[in-house]
Amino acid sequence: MAENQDRLTANWIEKRSSSWQDTEASLDALEDRKPVDTNQALAAIRQYPELARDLALARRAAPNSTLTRHLQRLYTRLHRVIFRKPSSLGRVLARTFSRDAALAANRIRLHIASVTCGFVLAGLAGWWLVSTYPELATLFASEEMIEKVQGGELWTDNLLNIMPSALLSVSIFTNNIVVTLTAVSLGVLYGLGTLYIMGLNGLMLGGIFAFTAQYGLAGRLFEFVAAHGFVELSVISIGGAIGFYIGECIARPGHQGRIESFRRAVSEMSPLIAVCVVFLVGAGLIEGYISPDNRFPLSMRLGIGLAYWMLFVLVLTGPLFRRGDLPSAADSA
Amino acid sequence: MNDALQIQSITGVDVELKIAGPGGRSFAFVVDWHIRLLLALAWYVLGALALIGTLSAEAIPDAGSAFVYVVVLPATALFFLYHPVLEIVMQGRTPGKRMAGIRIVNQAGEVPSVGAILIRNILRLVDSLPGVYAIGLGATVLTEQSVRIGDMAAGTLLVYEDEVHSEDIRHLVSPTVAKMGLENLQLVNDVIDRWEGLDPASRVDLGQRLLARLGHDQPDADADVLAALMRIQQQGTD
């Protein structure tokens, strides 16, 4: 009886082994994500139930054998290939800029407004602190910066003599991207991490402006930030708003579990994060090439800064690529 | 704690994938960290030598923007984009993960989307806090599927992959299976595979008992026992 069973198994392996080899060969091609012809795709679909049956038989004949493990691996690979979602990077990017980022921004518009208000309040608090207690400037500026300002210069003066524009741009946009992503990521701590980051950045900005104002340099500092600052500060506010939204989804997950709610929030906000990162790269290039260059007058800097900011707002509100038919937050919830 | 991810199929034949724990994940990360660090350093050193002929920082301003675009940016990109780019291109794997025998999958056991891979990499910022991946490691120890925060956000996890290829089952297409059965042949294969790692006295004893069970002569010498087992394994493929 057992010998008969072994003979049947041997016959079965012999009969099916060429099919398994074919499956493995076609899987190598299918997993490459290159276009395959219809016959190849249909063959894979045909092989799937056959392989399922073979795996079930192998599990019964020898549950822990190499053959079973091999068939299980082939079956898993085939399953992944057949049920793989179609994706196109170009289409994803186009949808991100034309629709998904605007939807996400619309969903958190109240958070953006609240965080912007908080940021402005923190900035005013920083201004008041340094105006009232000038010695607190050391909290917001390095010793080197303080010495320069006291000498009637800004630390941004002659920046291009210290560092080439390219290096400056790269270091600036890298730093800004890290700050924004950190503000987003720290939302995980129920939004508290984001609160600290936003508060600290607002305080610093206000404090620095107050400090330079004491030496009559605030106007020049504004001139420096005019071209890049609108988008940069907007992105940081939006990063904070995303962080708060994520924190809120974790703190108040509703009928979902916390992890599921967290996953949904991050997934919803990822197009907005992507757009913010792209605009930060642009702002970094402006800050490296235009802001420190004295040949650009304030009017031109303001023009560039506001035009770039308008572009950012148009992408985030929808009308640039779309027909203004974005669903409201309530509709899309 | 769940140690396997169940993939359900319309055929009714489900598959379980073993979930990688903190050990497998850490091993893969350490390997990848070294690879990306070495690649970035190599690019920086070779690029600097080719462009300015020295590694001295004083010569960098003379090279201007070219140094940034040719040396600094690519080296930085190699280090920071290693994980997202390779995980997308290699469909959830990296060289380190390949060495550890693990891969990233989504909750359905499929290759994760580009967006999911980017999300899990952005959240490294949190997982890496406070500088030594303490949060990430803590999360993998404490969570049900051994995932870090980035994986929770992206809906991904790491599973072990069984590396068995068609060459490994070639010897099964033989009269040996008919003669001794699939399970007995599997025993022979397992003993041969593990021969080198076994204690010499134990492996001879094990080999002799297996040969006796299969009705073969049992030589005394270590090498002869192995040769006898290999003859059985290769009976049909010679």
Greater confidence, A92 or B35? B35
Best mutation target among B169, B180, B184, B214 (most A Cβ atoms within 10 Å) is B169
Computed from CA positions of residues A227, A233, A239, A245, in that sequence, does the dihedral angle turn out positive or negative? negative
Range B189-199 average pLDDT: 84
What confidence score (pLDDT) does residue A329 get? 44
Interface touch B7/A79, C-beta < 8 Å = yes
**In A193-291, beta strands by DSSP E:** none
pLDDT at B236 over 60: no
Mean pLDDT rounded to a whole number for chain A: 83
What confidence score (pLDDT) does residue B238 get? 39
Range B143-160 average pLDDT: 90
Quickly state the pLDDT bin for A327 (edges 50, 70, 90).
Answer: low
Position A6: which residue type? D
Interface touch B164/A6, C-beta < 8 Å = no
pLDDT at A97 over 60: yes
Range B71-81 average pLDDT: 89
Range B187-213 average pLDDT: 85
Two tokens, residue A27: 């899987």
pLDDT at B1 over 70: no
Interface touch B109/A55, C-beta < 8 Å = no
In angstroms, the Cα distances linking B33 to A178, B94, B125 are 20, 11, 15
Greater confidence, A212 or A18? A212
CB A314 within 8 A of CB A234: no
Closest CA–CA distance from residue A166 to any residue of chain B (Å):
5
Percent of chain B with pLDDT over 70: 88
Most confident option among A144-148, B60-64, B99-103: B99-103
Range A206-222 average pLDDT: 88
What confidence score (pLDDT) does residue A124 get? 94
Interface touch A266/B154, C-beta < 8 Å = yes
Greater confidence, B118 or A33? B118
Closest CA–CA distance from residue A76 to any residue of chain B (Å):
7
Closest CA–CA distance from residue B187 to any residue of chain A (Å):
9
Q: Where are the domains of chain B?
A: 4-160, 166-234
Among A56-70, B89-103, B223-237, the range scoring the smallest mean pLDDT is: B223-237
Mean pLDDT rounded to a whole number for chain B: 83
pLDDT at B122 over 70: yes
CB A305 within 8 A of CB A226: yes
How many whole angstroms separate alpha carbon B34 and alpha carbon B49? Answer: 22
Among A171-175, A256-260, B97-101, B227-231, the range scoring the smallest mean pLDDT is: A171-175
Dihedral, CA atoms, A127, A131, A133, A137, nearest 10 degrees?
Answer: 60
Interface touch B178/A11, C-beta < 8 Å = yes
Q: What ipTM was assigned to the predicted interfaces of this complex?
A: 0.70
Interface touch B152/A72, C-beta < 8 Å = no
Nearest by CB: B11 against A49, A80, A267: A49
Range A80-100 average pLDDT: 80
Best mutation target among A33, A76, A168 (most B Cβ atoms within 10 Å) is A76
**In A150-207, beta strands by DSSP E:** none
Quickly state the pLDDT bin for A332 (edges 50, 70, 90).
Answer: very low
Residue pLDDT, tens place only, A133-163: 888 888 888 888 888 888 888 777 776 666 6
CB B191 within 8 A of CB B208: no
What confidence score (pLDDT) does residue B169 get? 67
3-state class (DSSP) for residue B4: strand
Best mutation target among A1, A15, A55, A65 (most B Cβ atoms within 10 Å) is A65
Nearest by CB: B9 against A79, A182, A274: A79
Q: Counting one residue from A and one from B, how many pairs have CB atoms under 8 Å apart?
A: 154
Closest CA–CA distance from residue B218 to any residue of chain A (Å):
23
Specify the DSSP class assigned to residue B19. Answer: B
